[in-house]
Structure 1
Amino acid sequence: MSGDRPRSSGDSSGASSGGRSGSDDRRDDRRDERGRERGAARAAGRVQRSAQAPSQRSRHGDAARSAAYDVLRAVDEGDSYANLVLPPLLRERRIEGRDAAFATELAYGTLRLRGRYDAIVEQAAARELASIDPPVLDLLRLGAHQLLGMRVPAHAAVSETVGLARARAGAGASQFVNAVLRRVAERDLGTWLTTIGDAADPGDSDPVARLAVTQSHPAWVVRALRESLVGHGRGADEVAALLAADNEAPRVTLVARPGLVEGADLLAEAGDEATAGAVAPDAVVLRGGDPGRLPAVRSGAAAVQDEGSQLVTLALAAAPLDGPDERWLDLCAGPGGKAGLLAALAGRQGARLVANEVQPHRARLVEQALRAAPDGAVEQVRTGDGRTLGDEEPGAYDRVLVDAPCTGLGALRRRPESRWRRTPADLATLGVLQRELLGSALRAVRPGGVVAYVTCSPHLAETRLVVTDAVKAAGRAGLAVEVLDARAVVRGVAAGPLDLPERPDVQLWPHVHGTDAMHLTLLRRL
């Protein structure tokens, strides 16, 4: 974790945070370099190959819209991750600048708001979604997002999408797309939200049903987030603002790794297209452009990392401990965002970092993330199961980070398709893994040392309940553990004042702090 991990903008880039030593990593192994499923779906021949060769595609309509459509088809057909499919596709087709930005917003925005647009399309088409062929439905979703979610003139949104439909799905489908999108264009977004909200909740008695359809989240996620707000000391009435924040495209945030580049220098390097972060002291927020163009990013002195991810990493390095402070462990290090920052902090504090990752291909990503680490700051990048490391090296570390695989419900704005893939059943599987990893970390840390338990999910089953159970299990095994005041530590390392309820743990929120919904609990072994 934190959430589905391959990440793009933030310490996360794509699939669920996890995968570190759980099922998500195994699923990652079945994907090719573009994030496409290589397993049962393709083997069984269920994947349609509707996308034409790039040379053919270039002759049909707008290249940016065509690219966005192909991303949607890859997500639907191959169980792919948009953030792994889109960048190489844009490079392959030489789509750059404003066209690349348009394609990105069209693809990501359509995926985020799919639930909203499906309800609108169903009304406008006067038929059930199941009766619409999936490729045609994706075309309608793209058109709806242009009409209702982007500043695209209605005539252009309809005509260009109809042209794409004619090229990809045939003349008959294009006529259907034309008719439906013209009905969509007859009403503005506010009117449509009232219409689909009333259809979902005709008696005005189920706010979850209304929010689920209007704010484009599965109903179970809406309930879980509302409960999480209350369980972490906030109000249930904030859920609408939280859902709306999930639907906003996040800006790319960079971290200036201490000792490798100063935040002010990174900000100057980024130029007019950047501002200083509001939460983390060494964060730089880009207004646009490719972060890879910056020399500091190319060298590894800086990296893409959400401010919440930066803050919880800084908190581990700053948490008070008793005794020596020489050896640190990142238990679930892949793909390496937090490990890169930890290594820089370790170098500054005279410590050495061991980065553990269960999957070899993710361990290689960690090695790449640590390429600029200060001399002597990295002891080892090891490949191993984090669940057993505490037994292999009991009491061997002064500070341990458990960035646990999770549902990624705190990073839905960055992983547009993940909200439609996760189910409540995932909580049970991930909960077992999270408890095992935290238990291993508590065995791996020495008495007086500190463990940071981190997820990019605010779900109570992945945060408070995991910590409570792990502390009890440690006690039964003869390990005494106390929960530290993470709020005081986070406030000590933050760039400015933070709105944090009176609780020992810290839960960040997109609608309050502008970060992913990152959770932090600090524990000290006695």
Structure 2
Amino acid sequence: MSGERNGPHRRDARRPGGARRGGAETRARQDRVSAARTVAYDVLTAVRESDAYANLLLPARIERARLSPADAGLATELAYGTLRLLGRYDAIIARASGRPVEAIDPPVLDVLRLGAHQLLGTRVPTHAAVNEQVALARRVAPAAAGFVNAVLRAVSRRELADWLDEIAAGAGSPDEALALVHAHPVWIVRALRSALEREGRGDELAALLEADNASPRVNLVALPSLAPDPGTLGDADAYSPTGFTAEDPIGLVGRMDGRVRVQDEGSQLAALALSRVLPVRPGERWLDLCSGPGGKTALLAAEALEGGAQLVANEAVPARADLVRRAVAPVPMEVPVHVGDGRDLDPAAMDAEGGFDRILLDAPCTGLGALRRRPESRWRKSPSDVAELARLQGELADAAFAALAPGGVLAYVTCSPHTAETHAVLGRALERWGDAAEVLDTASVVQRVARHPLDLAGDDRTVQLWPHRHGTDAMFIALVRKG
């Protein structure tokens, strides 16, 4: 019996190199890292080292790696989920490792972050998450493989709810606890609370923070008169009459030659509020002042074409101006795209000597309203950015208002609910413009445009959309008419 049991091992041991080959094969298997995890790690590294934008980089990396749809979905979830919840995972890693994350080499920390997300934020089996991250550590920092294994084992021994209770208990204030649990910087938590409290909805803060951390479904726009009715292409949006979702959004976009585009429902409502605020008179002159990358410009162009209006676009950055040109190319009308600082606006140079009848100012902003779509952006912004942007927003608003023709309408729009970028900028502008400006009942306009009634709160003169309440980005919209 013993001879039968041990014989094969003795024969393998006698075979020259037999055991070594087996060991090499085992190590090779242990060191394998899936292509999806490699792509996700590369994106995290580029975001950290080069300030890359994940939403621009990830599709290119997925295509380069030729990932299957399933692996592409995994890479997307790993990259976006990890970046979105970075603050939460850093707090958990610090406790599981017994050291501050600042003391962990950045490449190793990225490996741990990816592992923590797999263990606590996905259904990836524990052994797969730990083993592949250890293999990834062997590739990028061999000496740290044991450390990564130990930390991830410690993370895996507790449920997410237990970790959240622990990091909340160790926070220095209620705001810090919210920030750690929901993975938002403290200053953003406070800014969002302030915006909600202005509407009397401060009790919705936790729901908003959770919505920011949810992966949004890809939303599409069907350009009016150029694409089929949205309801025939997929599931029509709840609010935007031009919006819908579809099972294969990217494939559909590819088949529709630019007549169907990816665009958030809130962005559509912002553009449509301007184009449909009043009946369009043929020959009207419209301007999209800060037009890059061109999504709203394309929708406005389709609306202008239907009503017999003319549209001009302006963009300060040449590369983004090229994106605008590509965005409006499917619309069969000429849309001149000027490159220049919107604060130095010269309507005469745009063939609008008497001014523009409608101007969209989608002002540069912190982007706090699109945190769910731009996962790394919350960690890149700071309160000092708000003051600088608010000055720019005010200067652009002054230039836009000056370029309006008498009776013309300005749509002041930001993809940020921060009150310093919304009500404060608008309020100071109205003080400067005096009796020449009239703020329209923007809420009534947006409700008239929408398919179904929106749950809006606050001042009827402005509209604030919310991810948790409307399923849109947190767009702010105000319509102002020039006397």
Q: TM-score, normalised by structure 1?
A: 0.83
Aligned counterpart, 1:243: 209
1:158-206, CA deviations, whole angstroms, 9 ceiling, x for partnerless residues? 1111111112211x211111000001001111111101110114xxxx3
Aligned pairs (5 A) from 1:292-371: 294-296=254-256, 299-320=257-278, 326-371=284-329
Letter in 2 for 1:290: I
Summarize the Cα distance change of 1:445–1:78 in structure 2 as closer, same or farther, 3 Å threshold.
Answer: same
- Aligned: 1:221 with 2:178: no
Aligned pairs (5 A) from 1:264-279: 264=230, 267=233, 274-279=234-239
SS at match of 2:425: helix
- Aligned: 1:67 with 2:42: no
Q: Work out which structure has the larger RCO, using CA pairs closer than 8 Å and 6 or more positions apart in sequence.
A: 1
Task: Find the aligned partners of 2:154 and 2:469 in 1 and give their Cα distance.
Answer: 37
Aligned counterpart, 1:5: none
SS at match of 1:200: coil
- Aligned: 1:258 with 2:224: yes
Task: Find the aligned partners of 1:281 and 1:381 in 2 and give their Cα distance.
Answer: 27
Q: Report the alpha carbon displacement of residue 322 of structure 1 after superposing the two structures with TM.
A: 10
Q: Report the alpha carbon displacement of residue 379 of structure 1 after superposing the two structures with TM.
A: 4.2
Higher mean C-alpha displacement, 360-369 vs 257-266: 257-266
The runs of at least 4 aligned residues of structure 1 exceeding 4 Å deviation read 321-325, 390-395
1:222-280, CA deviations, whole angstroms, 9 ceiling, x for partnerless residues? 0000001122x14111111101000001111110000101234761xxxxxx4221121
Aligned counterpart, 1:523: 480
Whether the 8 Å contact between 1:322 and 1:448 is mirrored in structure 2 is no
Task: Find the aligned partners of 1:323 and 1:502 in 2 and give their Cα distance.
Answer: 32
Aligned counterpart, 1:56: none
For residue 452 of structure 2, the aligned residue among 487, 496, 507 is: 496
Whether the 8 Å contact between 2:366 and 2:385 is mirrored in structure 1 is yes
Q: TM-score, normalised by structure 2?
A: 0.90
- Aligned: 1:430 with 2:389: yes
SS at match of 2:336: strand
Aligned pairs (5 A) from 1:370-409: 370-375=328-333, 378-389=334-345, 395-409=354-368
1:417-448, CA deviations, whole angstroms, 9 ceiling, x for partnerless residues? 11000000001111111001111111111111
Task: Find the aligned partners of 1:407 and 1:512 in 2 and give their Cα distance.
Answer: 21
Aligned counterpart, 1:152: 124
Aligned counterpart, 1:194: 165
Q: Report the alpha carbon displacement of residue 287 of structure 1 after superposing the two structures with TM.
A: 4.5
Q: Report the alpha carbon displacement of residue 286 of structure 1 after superposing the two structures with TM.
A: 3.4
Letter in 2 for 1:262: P
Q: Report the alpha carbon displacement of residue 283 of structure 1 after superposing the two structures with TM.
A: 1.0
Task: Find the aligned partners of 2:462 and 2:292 in 1 and give their Cα distance.
Answer: 24
Aligned counterpart, 2:376: 417
Task: Find the aligned partners of 2:145 and 2:250 in 1 and give their Cα distance.
Answer: 35
Task: Find the aligned partners of 1:114 and 1:90 in 2 and give their Cα distance.
Answer: 22
Task: Find the aligned partners of 1:262 and 1:321 in 2 and give their Cα distance.
Answer: 23
Summarize the Cα distance change of 1:300–1:227 in structure 2 as closer, same or farther, 3 Å threshold.
Answer: same
Aligned counterpart, 1:290: 250
Letter in 2 for 1:429: E
- Aligned: 1:449 with 2:413: no
Aligned pairs (5 A) from 1:462-501: 462-475=421-434, 480-501=436-457
Whether the 8 Å contact between 1:485 and 1:505 is mirrored in structure 2 is yes
Aligned pairs (5 A) from 1:111-122: 111-122=83-94
**Quick check: which one's helix share is greater?**
2
| Structure 2: runs of 5 or more not aligned | 1-30
SS at match of 1:407: coil
Summarize the Cα distance change of 1:502–1:221 in structure 2 as closer, same or farther, 3 Å threshold.
Answer: closer
Q: Matched residue pairs, number?
A: 449
SS at match of 1:416: coil
Whether the 8 Å contact between 1:311 and 1:493 is mirrored in structure 2 is yes
Whether the 8 Å contact between 2:409 and 2:482 is mirrored in structure 1 is yes
| Structure 1: runs of 5 or more not aligned | 1-58, 268-273
Aligned counterpart, 1:169: 141
Task: Find the aligned partners of 1:155 and 1:363 in 2 and give their Cα distance.
Answer: 48
Summarize the Cα distance change of 1:487–1:289 in structure 2 as closer, same or farther, 3 Å threshold.
Answer: closer
Aligned pairs (5 A) from 1:3-18: none
Letter in 1 for 2:436: A
Task: Find the aligned partners of 1:251 and 1:89 in 2 and give their Cα distance.
Answer: 21
